[in-house]
A and B are shown apart, each in its own frame.
Chain A
Amino acid sequence: MEIKPPIPVIPPPAWEEVKDLQEWVKYRQERPGGDQVSEAVQGLWDRLEHFPGGWLAVSSTTKVFNWARKSSMWPVTFGLACCAIEMMATFASRFDVERFGMVPWASPRHADLMIVSGTVTIKMAPMLKRIYEQMADPKWCISMGSCANSGGPFRHGYHVVKGVDRVVPVDVYVPGCPPTPESLMFGILKLHERVAEYQQTGRRSAPGAPSD
Chain B
Amino acid sequence: MTAETAIARLREGLGIEATGEDPKRPLDARHLVVTVPVERWIEGLGFARDTLGCRYFCHLTAVDWKAEGFEVVCRVESLETHLGLTVKTRIPREAPCPSLTGLYRGALWMERECYELFGIRFEGHPDLRRLLLPEDWEGYPLRKDYAVDTPHPPYR
- Kindly count the residue-residue contacts between A and B in the assembled complex, taking CB atoms under 8 Å apart: 22
B156 at interface, CB cutoff 8 A: yes
Contact with B along A150-187 (1 / 0, CB 8 A): 00000011110110001100000000000000000000
A158 touches B134 (CB 8 A): no
B139-156 contacts to A (CB < 8 Å): 141, 146, 148-150, 152, 155-156
A89 at interface, CB cutoff 8 A: no
Kindly name the residue among B134, B146, B150 whose own CB sees the greatest number of chain A CB atoms within 10 A: B134
- Choice from B148, B149, B152 contacting A122 with Cβ under 8 Å: B152
B133 at interface, CB cutoff 8 A: yes
| Cα distance A53–B20 in the bound complex, in angstroms | 87
A156 touches B141 (CB 8 A): no
**Chain A residues with a Cβ closer than 8 Å to the other chain, count:** 11
With contact pairs A122-B134, A123-B133 given, residues A158 and B155 touching in the complex (Cβ less than 8 Å):
no
| Cα distance A166–B154 in the bound complex, in angstroms | 9
With contact pairs A122-B134, A123-B133, A123-B134 given, residues A159 and B141 touching in the complex (Cβ less than 8 Å):
yes
With contact pairs A122-B134, A158-B141 given, residues A167 and B148 touching in the complex (Cβ less than 8 Å):
no
Query: Nearest chain-B residue to A123 (Cβ)?
Result: B134
- Choice from B133, B134, B149, B155 contacting A156 with Cβ under 8 Å: B149
- Choice from A123, A125, A158, A167 contacting B150 with Cβ under 8 Å: A158
B155 touches A122 (CB 8 A): yes
In whole Å, how far is A40's beta carbon from the nearest beta carbon of chain B? 35
CB neighbours of B133 from chain A (8 A): 123, 159
In whole Å, how far is A74's beta carbon from the nearest beta carbon of chain B? 27
Contact with A along B14-27 (1 / 0, CB 8 A): 00000000000000
| Cα distance A123–B133 in the bound complex, in angstroms | 7
A162 touches B148 (CB 8 A): no
B152 touches A157 (CB 8 A): no
CB neighbours of A166 from chain B (8 A): 155-156
CB neighbours of A157 from chain B (8 A): 148
Query: Nearest chain-B residue to A129 (Cβ)?
Result: B155
Contact with B along A119-133 (1 / 0, CB 8 A): 000110100000000
| Cα distance A122–B132 in the bound complex, in angstroms | 11
B156 touches A156 (CB 8 A): no
In whole Å, how far is B81's beta carbon from the nearest beta carbon of chain A? 36
| Cα distance A125–B150 in the bound complex, in angstroms | 17
Query: Nearest chain-A residue to B134 (Cβ)?
Result: A123
| Cα distance A161–B149 in the bound complex, in angstroms | 11
A162 touches B156 (CB 8 A): yes
| Cα distance A122–B149 in the bound complex, in angstroms | 13
| Cα distance A158–B142 in the bound complex, in angstroms | 9
CB neighbours of A123 from chain B (8 A): 133-134
Query: Nearest chain-B residue to A126 (Cβ)?
Result: B155
With contact pairs A156-B148, A156-B149 given, residues A161 and B156 touching in the complex (Cβ less than 8 Å):
yes
| Cα distance A123–B135 in the bound complex, in angstroms | 9
| Cα distance A162–B156 in the bound complex, in angstroms | 7
* Chain B interfacial positions (CB closer than 8 Å to A): 133-134, 141, 146, 148-150, 152, 155-156
7 contacts between A and B (CB under 8 A): A122-B134, A122-B152, A122-B156, A156-B149, A158-B150, A161-B155, A167-B155
Known: A125-B155, A158-B150. 12 other contacts (CB 8 A): A122-B134, A122-B155, A123-B133, A156-B148, A156-B149, A157-B148, A158-B141, A159-B133, A159-B141, A162-B156, A166-B155, A167-B155
